[in-house]
Amino acid sequence: MPRLSLYRPNRTNDYQFLDRTIREMYTVGGVDVYVHKYLGPKASNPDSTEPLVNQDATQPAYSFESPLFIEDLLLLENRDRSYDSSVFVMRAVYNTQDIDFDLTQFGLFLNNDTLFLTFHYNEMIDTFGRKLMSGDVLEIPNLRDYNPLSQSIPRAIPKFYVIQDAAFASEGFSQTWLPHLWRVKATPMVNAQEYKDILKEPFEAENIWDDGNFYPGGTTVNYGNTYYIAKQNVPSGTDITNTDYWMEKTPATAEDKITTRPKDLEINDAILIQAEAEIPKSGYDTVKFYILPTNPDGTPANSYVVTADFVGTTLDRTVAEDNETPRSDGYTQGYLTGDGIAPNGLPVTPGVSFPVNPSLGEYALRLDYYPHRLFRYNGAAWVKIEEVVRTQLTPGAENKTLRSSFVNNTAQTATTDRGPIPQRQSLNDALIPKADNGG
């Protein structure tokens, strides 16, 4: 008599019976989950017949997409991901959670942002074609927000989760010791580069145009994946090509409506505006300080003008009659304080050359120096006072420092054999050996 054993090395009729029963339980008691299938890193040039040329061994060039590929072998990242345009529907079961604090760790953590969902394994293979894996995106329709706070959001906000890990569920093993369930761990999807394929989709009211309907002014409709907005009340029977009633509209994307990116940009811009108002430039302002003229040995020049007993001391008399001007910014000289303005607000002659027949103590700002440079004539030579290095702290076109011009350099160098070459290149591009003839 053979020994009794529930375990079978193969999927026998017992396994098939249990599997159909479990599948029916998920069909009856599970919830629909929309799955966006991860296809792999985007192909480098899928339509070209030319062989792919890889310039970096850590970033392979792929001619087709596969979830087994890794885009960046150094950082182990798949930043430019491709997702299937089709959306798969499967039944899943998960435990709903209340907002609660996790006190088992140091500090306070909310533990309601991670979902553990189980899927019927064979149904997943039949529907999806493969097992769910890290990178697949799940949309949970029963968690949609049908009442968003912002009135500008045209429809319910979907809830997206990204699978972080997947394995057989421990509760999915039947009496035959064979698995029937697939368990995934998913966290909320964020507005990141990896999910651009999903976030770039239009997020408009789901109105499909029908020429037999009446549409109030301002209504948005979809016709052949092109969106139109009603310029006025549209009577029934009006064609979508009638420009008196309809106008093409660039639809808002999911990134614009369901992520925090627009609000984050608004907050960041407000912070920058206030920061530029409070600290408009680097360093600190020295214009407000009066600088005492000094002799070459450091003693005060025209000492009589600085005594409290002398009546009638003016800046005009000091300059016009005695030609004594400060030789530097004095004690106010500091890091990134050069502004091209002479001490005490004295006159400055700007230009690309020094003035002819200068007077003692005269200032000149050379605009052909980069950065601009302020000089003072001491009777025998033009002595450097300072360089204009005070610029806006916010990077941009107005920030003309050596550092910013180096970092934001977009210029190109023309060559006869290799064409224009960007002056700004990363080290991994500059250090790659290349043939002298450019081939």
What is the tens place of the pLDDT at every residue in 169-181? 999 999 889 999 9
pLDDT class of 187 with cuts at 50, 70, 90: very high
The enclosing H or E element of 22 equals helix 13-29
Task: Calculate mean pLDDT across residues 196-206.
Answer: 86
Contact 345/354 with Cβ under 8 angstroms? no
Give residue 225's pLDDT.
Answer: 83
Alpha carbon distance 343, 294 (integer Å): 12
Contact 217/233 with Cβ under 8 angstroms? yes
Give residue 261's pLDDT.
Answer: 86
pLDDT class of 362 with cuts at 50, 70, 90: very high
Give residue 124's pLDDT.
Answer: 96
Amino acid code (one letter) for 81: R
pLDDT class of 224 with cuts at 50, 70, 90: confident
Bridge pairing between strands 412-413 and 421-422: antiparallel
Contact 217/231 with Cβ under 8 angstroms? yes
Residue 425 token pair: 């290149």
Task: Calculate mean pLDDT across residues 266-294.
Answer: 88
Q: Which domains does the chain have, with CATH numbers?
A: 13-42+80-199 (2.40.10), 281-408 (no CATH)
pLDDT class of 366 with cuts at 50, 70, 90: very high
Q: Which residue has the higher pLDDT, 151 or 105?
A: 151
Least confident range of 6-10, 182-186, 306-310 = 306-310
Please give the share of the chain, as a percent, with pLDDT higher than 70. 84
Q: Which residues contact 24 (CB under 8 A, 6 or more apart)?
A: none
Most confident of 2-6, 88-92, 386-390: 88-92
Give residue 434's pLDDT.
Answer: 64
Give residue 319's pLDDT.
Answer: 41
The helix/strand/coil state of 423 is: coil
Give residue 182's pLDDT.
Answer: 97
**Is a pLDDT exceeding 80 seen at residue 87?**
yes
Alpha carbon distance 367, 390 (integer Å): 15
Closest CA relative to residue 96, chosen from 115, 118, 111, 120? 115
Most confident of 162-176, 220-234, 236-250: 162-176
Give residue 308's pLDDT.
Answer: 44
Task: Calculate mean pLDDT across residues 60-87.
Answer: 91
Most confident of 238-242, 306-310, 409-413: 238-242
Give residue 317's pLDDT.
Answer: 44
Alpha carbon distance 237, 25 (integer Å): 48
Give residue 356's pLDDT.
Answer: 92
Closest CA relative to residue 137, chosen from 204, 39, 66, 41? 39
Closest CA relative to residue 39, chosen from 105, 84, 79? 84
**Mean pLDDT of all residues belonging to the chain:** 84
**Is a pLDDT exceeding 70 seen at residue 208?**
yes
Give residue 164's pLDDT.
Answer: 95
What is the tens place of the pLDDT at every residue in 291-350? 888 877 777 776 554 444 445 545 444 443 446 888 888 777 778 888 889 998 899 999
pTM score > 0.85 for this model? Answer: no
Task: Calculate mean pLDDT across residues 343-366.
Answer: 92
